[in-house]
Amino acid sequence: MKQKDDKTQARPFIKWAGGKTQLLDEVHKSLPRDFARRENLTYVEPFVGGGAVLFKLLWEYPNIKKAVINDINQDLINTYRVV
């Protein structure tokens, strides 16, 4: 996979309690081995929070064509809609 410039990578725009930034390596290890070769994937994030996993996966896997996010905090979801 082609390396991308880290300066342009989308990152969480908000700090969030319970953020998953420190778990990104573990999440990556748990993906199926052929994940990068699958086509037209939909990523579903039930607890988006600051979006660390969301942004990282969207950056690394252009084969994710759709993302569905959710969180119990409606104000947070409204913020994502506005941004």
27-56 mean pLDDT: 94
Tokens linked to 69: 């996010």
| Residue 6 pLDDT level (bands cut at 50, 70, 90) | low
Task: Using a cut of 0.85, tell me whether the model's pTM lies above it.
Answer: no
Spatial CB neighbours of 36, under 8 Å, sequence gap ≥ 6: 1, 61, 63
Query: How far apart are the C-alpha atoms of 83 and 75, rounded to whole Å?
Result: 12
> Bridge-partner residues for 41, per DSSP?
64
Q: Is the pLDDT of residue 38 over 90?
A: yes
